[in-house]
């Protein structure tokens, strides 16, 4: 499946987490069934160097366990369960299960302030031949620059933390990234137009509790894609906009 880079992208935020626990196999299956352009995977690294799909630094919120991921081995992680009793997935398990049936938006982060997950990530992408189906985003410029050292072609997205949109060094970001991902609360049409004039795409993220309030206005800003927790509702809004020719 080729990356639909020229089209508006619907990125299933942590999978279809409106119907199943985030990052669960079921959440990803449903997102793919709903024809998400990308499924989003937040990465964490275990104590013994395995990449797993979890958003938080700890397992407390999303599993029946406690403690930091970085202090647990993969064996420790596999003893835990998500809220629907499914097991936490490794990135390799996700690639094995879904292969070329979808595209993958992967969010990296530093591990104890170091860029440690990037090399094993690229190794897995190469192992499964998914170079054309992956986009990588991060709040960490250090992480993205490491990815760019390892691979010159994978599209990179710089994720912007809240009101940091006011202080973006666009000329620097353009050197390694093809897009930015700001929060919906922080942007307007002028901002989106300016990013487009600089040759950057704009993929917008939301907080779970404000997405439904902000999605329509966000879509009207001519952004290039959204991370959505409510894919069916987002598609319905897109159809309304298209029907009215807005």
pLDDT (tens digit, 0 to 9) for every residue of the chain, 246 residues total?
444 445 899 999 999 999 999 999 999 999 999 999 999 999 999 999 999 999 999 999 999 999 999 999 999 999 999 999 999 999 999 999 999 999 999 999 999 999 999 999 999 999 999 999 999 999 999 999 999 999 999 999 999 998 888 899 999 999 999 999 999 999 999 999 999 999 999 999 999 999 999 999 999 999 999 999 999 999 999 999 988 875
Question: Of 13, 50, 196, 208, which one is the catalytic site residue?
Answer: 13
What's the pTM? 0.95
Find the domain containing 244 and state its range: 164-246
55 is catalytic: yes
Question: Of 55, 57, 196, 208, which one is the catalytic site residue?
Answer: 55
Same domain, 131 and 51: yes
CATH number of the domain bearing residue 43: 3.20.20.190
Same domain, 177 and 115: no
CB 108 within 8 A of CB 117: yes
Same domain, 235 and 181: yes
Same domain, 241 and 169: yes
Same domain, 142 and 117: yes
100 contact partners, CB below 8 Å, separation of at least 6: 1, 129, 130, 133
13 is catalytic: yes
What is the number of structural domains in the chain?
Answer: 2
């Amino acid at each position: 499946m080729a990356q639909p880079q020229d089209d508006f992208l619907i990125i299933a935020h942590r999978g279809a987490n409106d119907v199943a626990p985030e990052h669960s196999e079921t959440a990803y299956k449903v997102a793919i069934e709903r024809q998400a352009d990308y499924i989003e995977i937040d990465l964490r690294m275990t104590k013994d160097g395995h990449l797993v799909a979890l958003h938080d630094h700890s397992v407390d919120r999303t599993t029946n366990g406690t403690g930091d991921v970085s202090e647990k081995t993969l064996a420790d992680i596999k003893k835990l369960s998500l809220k629907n009793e499914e097991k936490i997935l490794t990135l390799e398990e996700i690639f094995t299960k879904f292969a070329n049936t979808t595209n993958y938006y992967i969010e990296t982060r530093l591990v104890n302030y170091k860029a440690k997950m990037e090399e094993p990530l690229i190794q897995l992408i190469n192992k499964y031949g998914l170079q054309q189906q992956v986009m990588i985003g991060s709040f960490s410029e250090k992480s993205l620059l490491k990815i760019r050292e390892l691979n010159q072609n994978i599209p990179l997205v710089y994720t912007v933390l809240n009101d940091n949109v006011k202080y973006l060094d666009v000329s620097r970001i353009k050197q390694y990234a093809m897009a930015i991902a700001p929060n919906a609360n922080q942007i307007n049409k002028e901002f989106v137009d300016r990013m487009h004039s600089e040759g950057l795409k704009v993929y917008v993220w939301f907080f779970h509790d404000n997405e439904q309030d902000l999605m329509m206005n966000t879509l009207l800003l001519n952004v290039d894609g959204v991370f959505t927790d409510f894919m069916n509702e987002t598609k319905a809004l897109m159809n309304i906009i298209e029907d009215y020719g807005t």
